[in-house]
């Protein structure tokens, strides 16, 4: 934000766009100023600040897109910001010299509520009537001249696809300062009883005023036949078809980020691997190469890989929002979520979180209510995202016996897998319910939501929304995620001590040889152990063992050993503890880390080699297997509930504008994960699984 | 004055009525008034969400959704 010039600069003009939500304000912004010059937050609050710029008649116009608001008697922070900007009370934001009130022509009565309030600001005003084409097709004729005369400011009819009225609007904006503010309208009429708060009395008198203002301005001719959008509306609100359409739309939303994004993500991963290989060839082996390839490039790959999901989800959300369906989806799902302290608007963010919590948390931007938004963000990471699936699949495949549960077709592994998904949902519901009744208690939150009528989404607005989401992710969260990945990479690779690394490998060889001398060893295990011993003799096996030793000797590895007493009650040995801690950058890393810790190349994390190695793993110095059914279940429960995903925590920090919330999320999820894993292991052992 | 006060929550789907008043003077009451549910306005219940809550209303030429708890605070005139 540039500093306001001292005194009005005749070559520049600051203009604010004020309007109700869903009035086509974003469309008008794009039509006037194109791509915004700045999108960010207002200082100190997480309310979106959007600025644009255009020139008209030798004036440079700085356009401020105010948050959508229903009233200038502010209730939420968004509305307060709008009012503060309009009064020039927000530090660093110049007071607008002209206000453009965006009013939906198909819903004029309600929209004039804000417009008449704006006449009292003492600023030059222009009323932009959007969606006039839709209004006309519905048989509504608006006498803009008469309305302009009564309001005391220009009223300009706009139609989006044709660009009708845009030139006139630009002229009216530039002429604003010369025209001056409109004369006060005067809220007369019978004042209701005085016990009501001022804002309530004002509202009642204002609607009486609007009814007088509109008398003779709006003429309605009954539409000849039902319009296509009305027929669509009827289908969407139908009890049966409406529900089916809703299910289909949600399926499309979910599958597009779960499956459609996958090839794009593979492409990005493949590209990054290719790049890493090329860079590896260019640089001499050593610490610098490791930092560039395993730290920085891997970190960049870990950021860019989220882009397809974010872009797809925001494209879909923008389409749904543009055609008015987002509000309807919230309406349909509200009852289901209000019981646990959330609202209907939490549905899409939570559904998206089953694919990945990052686009899900970002999608919570569509929730206007702060309390609901924060609660949604806090529980979204509990939904079982796609990164947990490989962990579930490997452990169920290796340790859950394939037996029938009750009926022949219902197999135990499927039950366990479903249970893991169910666990996330149940715990999220419980956490949301508990938080909404304790820390997030407050006055009842009004759920007063407009259900916009069906309209066709505007391509420019849809693309801008997706572009903006991706850009803000890369710019704000991306750099931080990259920094975190580099730090975690360093922590899991340093300090290294060559003497200790060699000693560690020697010790392993001795231990393996010891176990092979045991005559009672089952043949399968003997084979696996011999394989492990043989691999330690090969250069590749030696290199893998070296990596494992580095990992164990690193700060993270040491922490893993240090916290062993903490993970013992979960049935884990120090290796699992290490893997869990080292998976802080991202959950899926746990398999790679386990593979590394068991002297396998990380690429074998999803293969049967890791499965076999885990089955052969023994507690240090004993013949007792590490991985049993209770241990496998305890690991799965831990990963279902833990917050081992640095990117998610960074995005929570960015989206809430405070570092308190990532800390809260990490703490409560880790505690729940530990308790869940503890209960699972102890119960499983007690039941003799 | 009506003896048993009918509220918007009691209004069946497709029925129309005139608003008498909005009970209370908190943020919820103010927002309902600001959205146009002022005394004297005609409101029509367009439908209810699958679980019976929230309601979909037609008022002042647009569609508004409010929860039953909020609808219970909107009293109706007995005409």
> Is the peptide bond between B54 and the residue preceding it cis, with omega within 30 degrees of 0?
yes
C-beta of residue B55 within 8 angstroms of C-beta of residue B8: yes
pLDDT value, residue B2: 45
Same domain (yes/no): A212, A263 = no
Of B25, B49, B67, which is closest to A196 when you measure between CB atoms? B25
pLDDT digits (tens, 9 = 90+) for A168-221: 999 999 998 988 899 888 776 555 566 788 888 889 999 999 999 999 888 887
Same domain (yes/no): A278, A186 = no
User: Looking at the domain assignment, is residue A189 inside a domain?
Assistant: yes
pLDDT digits (tens, 9 = 90+) for A362-392: 989 888 788 889 999 999 999 988 888 888 8
Contacts 24+ apart (CB under 8 A), A77-85: A77/A45, A77/A46, A77/A47, A77/A370, A78/A47, A78/A368, A81/A42, A81/A45, A81/A47, A82/A18, A85/A16
Top-confidence range, A75-79, A162-166, B37-41: B37-41
Interchain contact A77–B (C-beta under 8 A): no
Cβ-defined contact of B41 to A192 (cutoff 8 Å): no
Least confident of A55-64, A537-546, A660-669: A537-546
Mean pLDDT computed over A588-617:
74
Tell whether the model's pLDDT for residue A535 goes beyond 70. yes
Of B39, B41, B66, which is closest to A447 when you measure between CB atoms? B66
User: Residues A286-309, buried b or exposed e (16+ Cβ, 10 A)?
Assistant: eeeebbbbbbbbbbbbbbbbbbbb
Same domain (yes/no): A267, A146 = no
Confidence tier at A602 by pLDDT (50, 70, 90): low
Higher-pLDDT residue of B2, A98: A98
Mean pLDDT computed over A573-591:
79
pLDDT value, residue A601: 67
- How many Cβ atoms sit within 10 Å of the Cβ of residue A375? 26
User: Looking at the domain assignment, is residue A163 inside a domain?
Assistant: yes
Bridging pattern class, strands B74-76 and B62-66:
unpaired
Confidence tier at A559 by pLDDT (50, 70, 90): confident
Confidence tier at A46 by pLDDT (50, 70, 90): low
Least confident of A76-80, A111-115, A154-158, A191-195: A191-195
User: Looking at the domain assignment, is residue A419 inside a domain?
Assistant: no
Check the CA dihedral B64-B69-B75-B79 and report its sign. positive
Domain that holds residue A665: 476-686
Q: What gap in Å lies between CA A247 and CA A671, rounded to an integer? A: 35
Q: What gap in Å lies between CA A16 and CA A49, rounded to an integer? A: 11
Written as six digits, the tokens of A109 are 């009565």
- What is the helix (H) or strand (E) element at residue A407, kind and residue range? strand A407-411
Mean pLDDT computed over A542-552:
80
Q: Which of A170, A194, A220 is the last residue of a domain?
A: A220
pLDDT value, residue A5: 46
Same domain (yes/no): A168, A306 = no
Residues from chain B that touch A239, judged by Cβ atoms under 8 A, are 50
Greatest alpha-carbon pair distance for chain B in Å reads 34
Least confident of A35-44, A263-272, A678-687, B53-62: A35-44
CA torsion angle for A160, A165, A169, A172 (degrees, to 10)? -170
Same domain (yes/no): A281, A204 = no
Same domain (yes/no): A38, A173 = yes
Task: Tell me the CATH number at A35.
Answer: 3.40.50.300
Bridging pattern class, strands B55-59 and B62-66:
antiparallel
Of A195, A204, A237, which is closest to B47 when you measure between CB atoms? A237
Confidence tier at A2 by pLDDT (50, 70, 90): very low
CA-based Rg of chain B, rounded to a whole angstrom?
Answer: 11
Cβ-defined contact of B39 to A338 (cutoff 8 Å): no
Same domain (yes/no): A209, A301 = no
Cβ-defined contact of A451 to B65 (cutoff 8 Å): yes
pLDDT value, residue A488: 80
Interchain contact B14–A (C-beta under 8 A): no
Of A110, A200, A208, which is closest to B62 when you measure between CB atoms? A110
pTM of the model: 0.82
User: Looking at the domain assignment, is residue A378 inside a domain?
Assistant: yes
Cβ-defined contact of A334 to B30 (cutoff 8 Å): no
pLDDT digits (tens, 9 = 90+) for B4-59: 689 999 999 989 999 999 998 888 899 999 999 999 999 999 888 888 889 999 99
Interface test with A, best of B65, B68, B74 (most A CBs within 10 A): B65
Cβ-defined contact of A446 to B50 (cutoff 8 Å): no
Q: What gap in Å lies between CA A416 and CA A422, rounded to an integer? A: 10
List of domains in chain B: 8-76 (2.30.30.90)
Cβ-defined contact of A71 to B34 (cutoff 8 Å): yes
Of A204, A239, A450, which is closest to B33 when you measure between CB atoms? A204
User: Looking at the domain assignment, is residue A561 inside a domain?
Assistant: yes
Residues from chain B that touch A446, judged by Cβ atoms under 8 A, are 27-28, 31-32, 70
pLDDT value, residue A214: 92
How many structural domains does chain A have? 3
Task: Find, among A39, A137, A43, the residue nearest to A85 by Cα.
Answer: A43
Provide φ and ψ at A253, rounded to 5°: -60, -50
Confidence tier at A476 by pLDDT (50, 70, 90): confident
Q: Which of A203, A220, A237 is the last residue of a domain?
A: A220
Mean pLDDT computed over A130-136:
86
Same domain (yes/no): A240, A182 = no
Same domain (yes/no): A481, A372 = no
pLDDT digits (tens, 9 = 90+) for A247-256: 999 888 888 8
Check the CA dihedral A610-A614-A619-A624 and report its sign. negative
- What is the helix (H) or strand (E) element at residue A409, kind and residue range? strand A407-411
Same domain (yes/no): A205, A286 = no
Mean pLDDT computed over A78-104:
91
Residues from chain A that touch B61, judged by Cβ atoms under 8 A, are 106-110
Written as six digits, the tokens of A451 are 């259900």
pLDDT value, residue A189: 54
Please give the sequence-ordered ranges of beta strands (E in DSSP) within A448-567, or none if there are none.
Answer: 448-450
Residues from chain A that touch B54, judged by Cβ atoms under 8 A, are 331, 334-335, 344, 447, 449
Q: DSSP character for B7?
A: B
pLDDT digits (tens, 9 = 90+) for A221-236: 776 677 777 788 778 8
Residues from chain A that touch B60, judged by Cβ atoms under 8 A, are 107, 109-110
Same domain (yes/no): A173, A256 = no
Same domain (yes/no): A212, A246 = no
User: Looking at the domain assignment, is residue A415 inside a domain?
Assistant: no
Distance from CA of B64 to the nearest CA of A (A): 4
pLDDT value, residue A677: 96
Give strand pairing partners of A98: A15
pLDDT value, residue A3: 46
ipTM of the modeled complex: 0.93
Tell whether the model's pLDDT for residue A400 goes beyond 80. yes
Written as six digits, the tokens of A406 are 């009750």
Length of chain A: 689
Distance from CA of A447 to the nearest CA of B (A): 6
Task: Find, among A380, A338, A336, A329, the residue nearest to A357 by Cα.
Answer: A380
Q: What is the arrangement of strands in the sheet containing B55-59, beginning at the earlier edge strand?
A: A448-450, B62-66, B55-59, B42-48, B16-22, B74-76
Tell whether the model's pLDDT for residue A7 goes beyond 60. no
User: Looking at the domain assignment, is residue A597 inside a domain?
Assistant: yes
User: Looking at the domain assignment, is residue A392 inside a domain?
Assistant: no
Q: Which of A220, A252, A274 is the last residue of a domain?
A: A220
The percent of residues above 70 in pLDDT, for chain A, comes to 95
pLDDT value, residue A487: 84
């Amino acid at each position: 934000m540039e500093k306001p010039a001292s005194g009005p600069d005749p070559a520049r003009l600051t203009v604010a766009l004020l309007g109700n939500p869903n009035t086509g304000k974003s469309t008008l912004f794009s039509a006037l100023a194109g791509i915004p010059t700045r999108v960010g937050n207002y200082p100190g609050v997480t309310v979106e600040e959007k600025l644009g710029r255009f020139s008209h008649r030798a004036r440079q116009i700085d356009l401020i897109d105010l948050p959508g608001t229903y009233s200038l008697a502010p209730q939420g922070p968004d509305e307060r910001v709008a009012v503060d900007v309009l009064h020039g009370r927000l530090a660093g934001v110049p007071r607008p010299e002209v206000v453009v009130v965006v009013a939906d022509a198909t819903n004029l009565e309600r929209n004039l509520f804000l417009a008449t309030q704006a006449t009292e600001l003492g600023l030059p005003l222009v009323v932009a009537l959007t969606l006039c084409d839709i209004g006309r097709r519905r048989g509504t004729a608006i006498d803009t001249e008469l309305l302009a005369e009564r309001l005391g400011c220009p009223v300009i009819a706009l139609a989006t696809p044709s660009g009708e009225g845009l030139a006139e609007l630009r002229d009216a904006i530039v002429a604003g300062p010369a025209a001056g503010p409109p004369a006060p309208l005067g809220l007369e009429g019978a004042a209701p009883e005085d016990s009501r708060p001022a804002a309530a009395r004002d509202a009642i008198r204002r609607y009486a005023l609007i009814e007088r203002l509109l008398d003779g301005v709006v003429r309605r001719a009954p539409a000849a036949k039902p319009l296509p959008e009305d027929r669509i509306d009827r289908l969407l609100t139908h009890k049966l078809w409406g529900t089916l359409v809703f299910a289909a739309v949600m399926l499309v939303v979910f599958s597009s980020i779960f499956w459609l994004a996958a090839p794009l993500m593979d492409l990005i991963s493949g590209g990054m691997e290719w790049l890493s290989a090329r860079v590896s060839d260019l640089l001499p082996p050593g610490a610098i190469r490791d930092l560039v390839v395993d730290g920085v490039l891997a970190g960049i790959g870990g950021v860019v890989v989220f882009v397809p999901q974010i872009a797809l989800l925001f494209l879909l959300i923008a389409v749904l929002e543009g055609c008015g369906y987002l509000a309807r989806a919230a309406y349909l799902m509200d009852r289901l979520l209000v019981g646990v302290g959330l609202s209907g608007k939490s549905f899409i963010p939570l559904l998206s979180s089953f694919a990945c919590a990052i686009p899900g948390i970002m999608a919570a931007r569509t929730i206007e209510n702060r309390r609901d938004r924060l609660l949604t963000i806090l529980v979204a990471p509990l939904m079982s995202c796609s990164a947990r699936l490989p962990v579930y699949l490997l452990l169920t495949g290796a340790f859950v016996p394939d037996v029938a549960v009750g009926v022949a077709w219902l197999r135990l592994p499927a039950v366990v897998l479903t249970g893991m998904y169910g666990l996330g949902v149940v715990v999220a519901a419980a956490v949301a319910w508990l938080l909404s009744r304790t820390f997030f208690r407050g006055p009842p939150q009004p759920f007063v939501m407009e259900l916009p009528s069906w309209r066709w989404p505007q391509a420019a607005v849809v693309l801008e929304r997706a572009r903006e989401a991706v850009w803000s992710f890369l710019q704000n969260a991306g750099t931080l995620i990259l920094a975190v990945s580099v730090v975690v990479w360093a922590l899991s690779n340093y300090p290294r001590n060559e003497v200790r690394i060699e000693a560690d490998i020697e010790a392993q060889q001795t231990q393996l040889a010891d176990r092979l001398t045991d005559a009672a060893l089952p043949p399968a295990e003997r084979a696996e152990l011999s394989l492990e011993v043989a691999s330690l003799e090969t250069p590749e096996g030696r290199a893998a063992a070296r990596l494992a030793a580095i990992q164990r000797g690193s700060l993270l590895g040491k922490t893993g050993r240090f916290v062993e007493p903490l993970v013992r009650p979960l049935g884990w040995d120090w290796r699992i503890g290490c893997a869990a801690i080292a998976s802080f950058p991202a959950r899926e890393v746990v398999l790679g880390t386990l593979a590394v810790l068991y002297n396998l190349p990380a690429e074998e994390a999803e293969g049967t080699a890791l499965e076999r190695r885990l089955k052969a793993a023994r507690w240090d110095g004993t013949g007792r297997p590490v991985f049993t059914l209770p241990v496998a279940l305890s690991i799965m429960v831990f990963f279902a509930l833990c917050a081992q995903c640095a990117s998610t925590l960074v995005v929570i920090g960015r989206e809430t504008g405070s570092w308190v919330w990532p800390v809260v999320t990490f703490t409560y999820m880790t505690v729940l994960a530990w308790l869940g894993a503890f209960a699972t292991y102890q119960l499983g052992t007690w039941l003799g699984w | 004055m009506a003896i048993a006060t009918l509220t918007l929550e009691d209004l069946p789907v497709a029925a129309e009525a005139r608003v008498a008043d909005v009970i209370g003077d908190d943020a919820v009451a103010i927002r309902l008034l600001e959205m146009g549910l002022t005394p004297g306005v005609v409101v029509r219940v367009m439908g209810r969400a699958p679980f019976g809550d929230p309601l979909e209303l037609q008022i002042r030429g647009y569609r508004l959704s409010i929860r039953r708890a909020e609808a219970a605070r909107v009293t109706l005139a007995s005409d």
